[in-house]
């Protein structure tokens, strides 16, 4: 039989058929494989098709044959299991820092790693209450540039914006760019943050990646290596609430026993705790004291109390009184 013009591409199209159109429940018979190859303009003889399947097996594809109906060949193991792909889709769909358009694009690519039948199971919406997606489409590329700068040991230049009451953006520092040595990326509270050494300020700072615009990689090598060498990234994330900084302090806080899970989730399993009677325990934690930390405390209610240092407890009481004072005047705004 004369060979068709696409014989050299046959094994590549055959690989695509196994990856996209087969799984354990959807095998393809030899005849079906030949018919589908013919749709690509490729004629295939039985012997050559068997040889191609054997070649793909030697290449590493786990092609199996199903004897019970429906009979046929199928790819037994895709690179990712369906359960793993579902986790990836759920993570992308629910991630706040990824824009809606980029989420749809990434999910489409994830679906391409499954058979077309399994891909249908990935086409689902993850229900996340009041999910607000990022609006800065460039975050995807910001992260890539920051990683590149870290890998090449170079500084970056960028502008940084904030929101106004009119719901418009305004550049900080009057539009003057920040020159920063990037050292790490931190994902905290559903946002990406850059931990970097601010060259002008001479200190380590964190920046929300979705608020960075116009990132440029500079020729200058990174500064602040010694400062970052003393920096404990995991510890920083645990003690900083909502990534708002504050004076660092070691606190002793008394909790009801029902909050032990909350404390471990927030400060880690190695947090220092000791029983305090039958119903309470005292935790010793390092915290960046801020209004966000006080907000976390208030959310746990009356079963939580700062024992020491007393000046932080006094600050917390003053904070609560100040909030209560807004409602105590009897005025309606």
What's the average model confidence in pLDDT over 194-208? 88
Handedness of CA 172, 174, 175, 179 (dihedral sign): negative
By the 10 Å C-beta count (0-12 exposed, 13-18 middle, 19+ buried), 25 is classed as exposed
Give per-residue pLDDT as tens, 258-273: 888 788 767 877 888 8
Q: What pLDDT shows up at residue 233?
A: 63
Between 230 and 272, name the one with better pLDDT: 272
Q: What pLDDT shows up at residue 331?
A: 54
Percent of the chain at pLDDT > 70 equals: 84
Residue count of the chain: 333
SS3 content of the chain, % helix, strand, coil (to 5): 45, 25, 30
What's the average model confidence in pLDDT over 251-261? 90
Q: What pLDDT shows up at residue 243?
A: 47
Please spell the DSSP secondary structure of 90-137, one letter per residue. HHHHH-TTS-HHHHHHHHHHHHTTS-HHHHHHH------TT------T
pLDDT at residue 55 is higher than 50: yes
What confidence category does residue 94 fall into, taking pLDDT thresholds of 50, 70 and 90? Answer: low
What's the average model confidence in pLDDT over 209-218? 91
Q: What pLDDT shows up at residue 130?
A: 42
Give per-residue pLDDT as tens, 111-167: 888 888 888 777 654 444 344 455 556 777 888 899 899 999 999 999 998 877 666
Which helix (H) or strand (E) is 266 found in, with range? Answer: helix 260-267
Q: What pLDDT shows up at residue 125?
A: 46
The separation between CA 276 and the C-alpha centre of its own chain, rounded to angstroms, equals 38
Tokens 């359960």 found at: 83
Instruction: Tell me the pLDDT of the chain averaged across its residues.
Output: 82
What's the average model confidence in pLDDT over 17-44? 89
Please name each of the domains of the chain with its CATH number: 7-75 (1.10.10), 82-122 (no CATH), 139-230 (2.30.30), 237-328 (no CATH)
Between 43 and 181, name the one with better pLDDT: 181
Percent of the chain at pLDDT > 90 equals: 26
Handedness of CA 136, 141, 145, 146 (dihedral sign): positive
Between 177 and 166, name the one with better pLDDT: 177
Those residues with Cβ within 8 angstroms of residue 38's Cβ, 6 or more apart along the chain or in another chain: 44
User: What is the distance between the alpha carbons of residues 185 and 120, in angstroms, rounded to a whole number?
Assistant: 34
Q: What pLDDT shows up at residue 311?
A: 93
User: What is the distance between the alpha carbons of residues 330 and 324, in angstroms, rounded to a whole number?
Assistant: 11
What confidence category does residue 282 fall into, taking pLDDT thresholds of 50, 70 and 90? Answer: very high
User: What is the distance between the alpha carbons of residues 181 and 170, in angstroms, rounded to a whole number?
Assistant: 23
User: What is the distance between the alpha carbons of residues 175 and 93, in angstroms, rounded to a whole number?
Assistant: 33
pLDDT at residue 75 is higher than 80: yes
Tokens of 227: 């400062």
User: What is the distance between the alpha carbons of residues 27 and 295, in angstroms, rounded to a whole number?
Assistant: 57
């Amino acid at each position: 039989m004369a060979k068709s013009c696409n014989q050299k591409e046959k094994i590549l199209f055959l690989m695509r058929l196994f990856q996209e159109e087969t799984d354990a429940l959807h095998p393809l018979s030899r005849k079906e494989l030949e018919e589908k190859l013919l749709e690509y303009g490729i004629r295939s003889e039985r012997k050559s098709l068997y040889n191609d399947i054997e070649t793909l097996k030697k290449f590493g594809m786990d092609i199996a044959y199903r004897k019970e109906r429906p009979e046929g060949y199928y790819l037994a193991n895709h690179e990712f299991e369906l359960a793993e792909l579902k986790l990836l889709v759920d993570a992308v769909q629910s991630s706040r820092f990824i824009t809606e358009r980029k989420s749809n694009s990434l999910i489409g690519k994830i679906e391409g790693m499954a058979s077309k039948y399994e891909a249908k199971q990935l086409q689902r919406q993850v229900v996340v209450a009041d999910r607000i997606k990022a609006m800065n489409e460039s975050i995807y590329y910001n992260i890539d540039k920051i990683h590149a700068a870290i890998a090449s040991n170079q500084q970056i230049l960028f502008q940084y914006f904030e929101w106004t009451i009119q719901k418009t953006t305004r550049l900080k520092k009057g539009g003057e760019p920040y020159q920063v040595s990037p050292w790490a990326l931190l994902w905290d509270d559903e946002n990406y943050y850059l931990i970097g050494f601010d060259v002008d300020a001479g200190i380590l700072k964190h920046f929300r990646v979705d608020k960075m615009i116009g990132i440029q990689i500079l020729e200058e090598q990174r500064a602040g290596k010694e400062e970052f060498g003393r920096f404990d990234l995991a510890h920083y994330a645990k003690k900083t609430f909502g990534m708002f900084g504050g004076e660092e302090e070691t606190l002793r806080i008394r909790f009801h026993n029902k909050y032990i899970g909350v404390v471990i989730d927030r400060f880690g399993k190695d947090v220092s705790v000791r029983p305090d009677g039958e119903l309470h325990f005292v935790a010793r934690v390092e915290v960046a004291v801020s209004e966000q930390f006080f907000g976390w405390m208030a959310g746990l209610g009356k079963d939580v109390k700062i024992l020491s240092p007393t000046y932080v407890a006094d600050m917390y009481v003053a904070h609560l009184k100040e909030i209560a004072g807004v409602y105590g005047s009897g005025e309606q705004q």
